[in-house]
Structure 1
Amino acid sequence: MKANPILLQKKYSRVIECFARRQGISLDTALDFFYHSDVYRLVREGVSDMHCMSDEYLAEELQQEYQAEC
């Protein structure tokens, strides 16, 4: 299922902000990581309706991916 692109952009910004706050990193760093992450790819492609998950859940998934790469 595909989500409305405008709504997705708003969701992305909320997830990025939450992720940056949790990790204590700048928004620029969080933004760069997000757009190169598996989480972004899955949400963008509509896999498993990831776009329906809460912002907090997606930020947690992003945090786990970030920590795995560090």
Structure 2
Amino acid sequence: MTANPILLQKKYCRVIERFAKQQGLSLDAALSFFYHSEVYQLIRDGVSDMHCMSDAYLVEELVQEDSQNKE
């Protein structure tokens, strides 16, 4: 299933802002991390309807991915 591109852009914005706030990152750093993340690729490619998941869920996935990258 594919999502409306405008709605996806709004979702990306909300997720990036929430991720930045939760992790204490600048918006630029959060934006860069998001667009290079596996989470973004899954949403973009429509895998498992990731775009239907809540913003909080997607942020948690980003946090987990970030912590795995730091190990």
TM range (shorter): over 0.9
Query: How many residues matched?
Result: 70
Q: Extract unaligned runs of 5+ from structure 2.
A: none
Matching of residues 1-70 of structure 1 within 5 Å = 1-70=1-70
The list of structure 1 runs, each at least 4 consecutive aligned residues, that deviate by more than 6 angstroms after superposition, is none
TM-score (ref. length: structure 1): 0.97
Quick one: which amino acid aligns to residue 53 of structure 2? Answer: M
Quick one: which amino acid aligns to residue 2 of structure 2? Answer: K
Q: State, as a whole percentage, how many aligned pairs show the same letter.
A: 71
Quick one: which amino acid aligns to residue 35 of structure 1? Answer: Y
Give 1:12 deviation, angstroms.
Answer: 0.1
Give 1:6 deviation, angstroms.
Answer: 0.4
TM-score (ref. length: structure 2): 0.96
Aligned CA RMSD, in angstroms, stands at 0.5
How far, CA to CA, are the matches of 1:22 and 1:39 in structure 2?
Answer: 17
How far, CA to CA, are the matches of 1:21 and 1:66 in structure 2?
Answer: 14
Quick one: which amino acid aligns to residue 62 of structure 1? Answer: L
Q: Extract unaligned runs of 5+ from structure 1.
A: none
